[in-house]
Amino acid sequence: MYELSTLVTYLLLVAGSYLLGSAPTGVIVARLYRNVDLTQVGSQRTGATNVARTLGVGAGAIVLAGDLAKGILAVWIASQFIGSPVALGIAWVMALLGHTHSIFLHLRGGRGVGTGLGGLAVVSFPLFAAAVTAGLLVVIASRYVSLGSLTGTMLTLVVGPAVCLTGRLPTELIPFFVIAPAIVLWAHRDNIARLRAGEERRFGQQA
């Protein structure tokens, strides 16, 4: 009976975190803000960067806050009701998958940076702060939002497992420090191609 209840708990965690991450923050804000279908304009992604380019920085900031909140809430709920490192990792990854492949948008979505960072903030706030700082510095220096996002993502991918191996974070988190960044990197594959070709838009350029 205990094993069954544990299985049910984790299944609810998977479904709940995915559904929370699937909430199409950007689409909702774009509709309310200017009745725009975000999946048909700009990069056709639903994250804060496309919103900022399409509707302005203010709308983008609202979407970023909402995307961060999805990741924070999913992992926080896991920490309160289950508490194990594996539960936190599952909530983080599933919320991220929900954002990048939303059930409400025919499995389309954003690139996962905001929701991924939100989850990371609960998993390890120092690592979250390091990723944000590194990413912002790159954005300021290059004016490429995607390059800053990729920098923070790669930092998480490399430093996260290393910190776990030092004993400062549970080693059970190592797979999730690989999976979560991998999802974000895959969502940025077109950005990576444009960066390599010198065709990526800089911050401030319209979609």
**Residue 23 per-residue DSSP state:** -
pLDDT of residue 206 exceeding 60, the answer is: no
Single-letter amino acid, residue 174: I
**Residue 172 per-residue DSSP state:** G
pLDDT score at 33: 83
d(CA 37, CA 27): 7
pLDDT band at 205 (very low <50, low <70, confident <90, very high): low
Whether 202 is covered by a domain: the verdict is: no
Whether 188 is covered by a domain: the verdict is: yes
Q: How do residues 43-58 score in pLDDT, each as one tens digit? A: 888 888 888 888 888 9
Whether 205 is covered by a domain: the verdict is: no
User: DSSP secondary structure string, 79-117?
Assistant: HHHT--HHHHHHHHHHHHHHHHSBGGGTTB---SHHHHH
Specify the pTM: 0.92
Q: How do residues 107-141 score in pLDDT, each as one tens digit? A: 999 999 999 999 999 999 999 999 999 999 999 99
pLDDT score at 102: 96
Question: 38 CB contacts (<8 Å, ≥6 apart)?
Answer: 26, 27, 30, 44, 45, 46, 50, 51, 54
d(CA 177, CA 168): 14
Percent with pLDDT over 90 in the chain: 77
Whether 71 is covered by a domain: the verdict is: yes
In terms of C-beta density within 10 A (0-12 exposed, 13-18 middle, 19 or more buried), how is residue 79 classed? middle
Q: How do residues 19-35 score in pLDDT, each as one tens digit? A: 999 999 999 998 888 88
**Mean per-residue pLDDT for 158-187?**
98
Whether 73 is covered by a domain: the verdict is: yes
Domain count of the chain? 1
Going by C-alpha positions, the residue among 136, 130, 137, 133 that lies closest to residue 157 is 130
Whether 204 is covered by a domain: the verdict is: no
Coil, strand, or helix at residue 199? coil
Whether 98 is covered by a domain: the verdict is: yes
d(CA 135, CA 167): 25
Whether 74 is covered by a domain: the verdict is: yes
Q: How do residues 74-110 score in pLDDT, each as one tens digit? A: 999 999 999 999 999 999 999 999 999 999 999 999 9
Q: Domain of 63?
A: 2-197
d(CA 64, CA 54): 14
